[in-house]
């Protein structure tokens, strides 16, 4: 048998890219590739890229610059660019960095094996089409290899919301939901391979409306059916849009034991003026009322969010309204970003906030979030939580896992092995993790 060729994938951006990278590695497995962990030993390098902010997109070109050295030393090396930069910039990538062999957009991954063969014959190949078919069904079946205890599963992709700052509707295309039966099959397969926790992924995951045997299923219905799979212990989903948080999904948070008490629910801003300019289609008050309803269904739920500071025309008063909203909600964690101008999006043309102002606002917002995050973590001390153990810690005998609330929890030995779901008493709160003991 020919020696396996070596594939190195570097993944940027969101969890969906992590999932896509797994699927691409599996698909290229059919072409005789095995994954390796360093670019130096690879026969093919694939960068799975993110276009969400300018820095993320530019990183790709500096990375390609470094890869160029490898290719000069080994001309047989193939270099591919996948993901959202591939979609957004297409042929421009090969123009800026001519040693790139292959450019493939997120909706064309089913063509990757064929494209790799063409590239192997010396062709430059590019595909950034938006075909109608479900690309995942066209990809080869996932091999039966053992898996870690936690896995991602994409159920919905794309976005029809067109927030004024965001490239995702252009890079991922229109909202598409995968059929429920395919998702259930994939989930059962993951569980057979050792997975105990599945995070359902979508750019607007709660807008899910995939075909089921008896009409379209909502995300809540899908979760209830997934919960019937023996051996699957935990279900999560991300990312949700506030306007798609239906009553049935809120109810599921109160009724479905396997659905974990953690919800990422981005709001971006607390100012109605800015929310309107962002085209978010909801108000700050509407968001706060939604949070109340979610907490009524599941009082201990931990919320996280995304915030953009320095959106065009954001005043100090608008920013203050965001801080007020954060105070009112009390987040368990949050991600915050300085607004980044994205070519082709409506907000790019509007009056921009000065960089120094953005920096200052980001610092103030992050200080508040850090305080809330610490408070939420400290509040766990003395409590008993479920922990799914995933990997050994730094000290001998230690194991690290995720709590129901998605905190990292470290337990000293003798600790249970990876894949075990245990009840753990939280003993102490450290900056980035909790210390616990198994009960
Ligand atoms: N679908 C998700 C978010 C996808 S992008 C949602 O609707 O919330 C992830 C986060 O990146 C966004 O929530 C937003 O906070 C941030 N983001 C998107 N575009 C941005 C931009 N142009 N500048 C800064 N942050 C941005
Ligand atoms: Fe982007 Fe808005 Fe769609 Fe989220 S909902 S992916 S922020 S356009
Ligand atoms: Fe980035 Fe594309 Fe995800 S732009 S955040 S990789 S959907």
One domain for residues 303 and 323: yes
In the reported structure, the alpha carbon of residue 10 is separated from the centroid of ligand 3 by a whole-number distance in angstroms of 14
Q: Which atom of ligand 2 is nearest to the CA of 159?
A: 3
One domain for residues 392 and 273: no
One domain for residues 11 and 94: yes
156 lines ligand 2 (CB under 6 A): no
One domain for residues 156 and 264: yes
Q: Does the annotation flag 438 for ligand binding?
A: no
Q: Is the dihedral of CA 197, 200, 206, 212 positive or negative?
A: negative
In a domain, 152, yes or no: yes
Contacts of 333 (CB under 8 A, 6+ apart): 302, 304, 369, 373, 376, 406
17 lines ligand 1 (CB under 6 A): no
Domain-terminating residue out of 378, 402, 417: 378
In a domain, 135, yes or no: no
Q: Which atom of ligand 3 is nearest to the CA of 84?
A: 2
Q: Does the annotation flag 256 for ligand binding?
A: no
In a domain, 132, yes or no: no
pLDDT for the residue numbered 142: 57
pLDDT for the residue numbered 414: 79
One domain for residues 365 and 403: no
One domain for residues 185 and 72: no
Across 367-420, the runs of DSSP E, i.e. the strands, are 384-392, 399-403, 408-411
Which of 52, 169, 269, 359, when mutated, tests ligand 1's pocket best, judged by the most ligand atoms within 8 Å of its CB?
Answer: 52
15 lines ligand 1 (CB under 6 A): no
Domain-terminating residue out of 341, 363, 378: 378
Cβ atoms of 345 and 166 within 8 Å: the answer is yes
Contacts of 380 (CB under 8 A, 6+ apart): 403, 405, 407, 426, 429, 434
Local structure of 385: helix, strand or coil? strand
Q: Which atom of ligand 3 is nearest to the CA of 48?
A: 6
One domain for residues 427 and 338: no
- What are the pLDDT tens digits along the chain (439 aa)? 567 899 999 999 999 999 999 999 999 999 999 999 999 999 999 999 999 999 999 999 999 999 999 999 999 999 999 999 999 999 999 999 999 999 999 999 989 999 999 999 999 999 998 876 667 776 666 567 889 999 999 999 999 999 999 999 999 999 999 999 999 999 999 999 999 999 999 999 999 999 999 999 999 999 999 999 999 999 999 999 999 999 999 999 999 999 999 999 999 999 999 999 999 999 999 999 999 999 999 999 999 999 999 999 999 999 999 999 999 999 999 999 999 999 999 999 999 999 999 999 999 999 999 999 999 999 999 999 999 999 999 888 899 999 999 999 999 977 889 999 999 999 999 989 999 999 9
One domain for residues 368 and 389: no
pLDDT for the residue numbered 403: 98
One domain for residues 357 and 236: yes
In a domain, 138, yes or no: no
One domain for residues 69 and 29: yes
Q: What is the CATH number of the domain that holds 110?
A: 3.40.50.12160
Range of the domain at 192: 145-378
203 lines ligand 1 (CB under 6 A): yes
In the reported structure, the alpha carbon of residue 420 is separated from the centroid of ligand 1 by a whole-number distance in angstroms of 34
**DSSP character at residue 387:** E
| Nearest residue to 290 via CA among 255, 350, 352, 244 | 244
pLDDT for the residue numbered 2: 65
CA–CA distance, 367 with 38 (Å, rounded to integer): 36
One domain for residues 286 and 216: yes
Q: Which is it for strands 384-392 and 333-338: parallel, antiparallel or unpaired? A: unpaired
Domain-terminating residue out of 127, 159, 187: 127
Which of 15, 19, 46, 50, when mutated, tests ligand 3's pocket best, judged by the most ligand atoms within 8 Å of its CB?
Answer: 50
In a domain, 140, yes or no: no
């Amino acid at each position: 048998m020919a020696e396996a060729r070596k594939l190195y994938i570097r993944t940027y951006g969101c969890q969906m890219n992590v999932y896509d990278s797994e699927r691409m590695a599996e698909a290229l497995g059919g072409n005789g590739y095995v994954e390796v962990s360093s670019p130096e030993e690879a026969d093919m390098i694939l960068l799975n890229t993110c276009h969400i902010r300018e820095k993320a997109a530019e990183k790709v070109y500096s990375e390609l610059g470094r890869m160029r050295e490898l290719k000069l030393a080994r001309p047989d090396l193939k270099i591919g660019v996948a993901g959202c930069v591939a979609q957004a910039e297409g042929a421009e990538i090969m123009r800026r960095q001519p040693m790139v062999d292959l450019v493939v957009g997120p909706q064309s991954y089913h063509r990757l094996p064929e494209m790799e063969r063409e590239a192997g014959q010396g062709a430059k190949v590019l595909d950034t089409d938006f075909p109608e078919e479900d690309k995942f069904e066209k990809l080869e079946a996932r091999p039966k290899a053992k898996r870690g205890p936690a896995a991602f599963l994409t159920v919905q992709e794309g976005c029809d919301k067109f927030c004024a700052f965001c490239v995702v509707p252009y890079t991922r295309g229109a909202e598409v939901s995968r059929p429920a039966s395919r998702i259930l099959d994939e989930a059962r397969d993951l569980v057979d391979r050792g997975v105990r926790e599945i995070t359902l992924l979508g750019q607007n995951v709660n807008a899910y409306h995939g075909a089921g045997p008896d009409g379209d299923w909502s995300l809540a219905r899908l979760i209830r059916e997934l919960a019937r799979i023996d051996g699957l212990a935990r279900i999560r989903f991300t990312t949700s849009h506030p306007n798609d948080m239906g009553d049935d999904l809120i109810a599921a948070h109160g009724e479905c034991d396997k659905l974990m008490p953690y919800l990422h629910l981005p709001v971006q801003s607390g100012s109605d003026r800015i929310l309107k300019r962002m085209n978010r289609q909801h108000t700050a008050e509407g968001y706060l009322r939604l949070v109340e309803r979610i907490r009524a269904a599941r009082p201990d739920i931990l919320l996280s969010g995304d915030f953009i500071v320095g959106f065009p025309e954001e005043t100090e008063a608008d920013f203050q309204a965001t801080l007020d909203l954060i105070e009112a909600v009390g987040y368990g964690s949050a991600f915050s970003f300085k607004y980044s101008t994205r070519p082709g999006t409506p907000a790019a043309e509007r009056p921009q906030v000065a960089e120094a102002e953005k920096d200052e606002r980001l610092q103030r917002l992050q200080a508040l979030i850090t305080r809330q995050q610490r408070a939420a973590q400290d509040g766990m001390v003395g409590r008993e939580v479920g922990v799914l153990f995933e990997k050994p810690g730094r000290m001998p005998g230690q194991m690290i896992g995720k709590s129901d609330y998605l905190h990292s929890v470290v337990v000293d030995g003798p600790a249970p092995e990876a894949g075990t779901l245990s009840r753990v008493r939280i003993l102490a709160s450290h900056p980035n993790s909790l210390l616990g003991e198994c009960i």
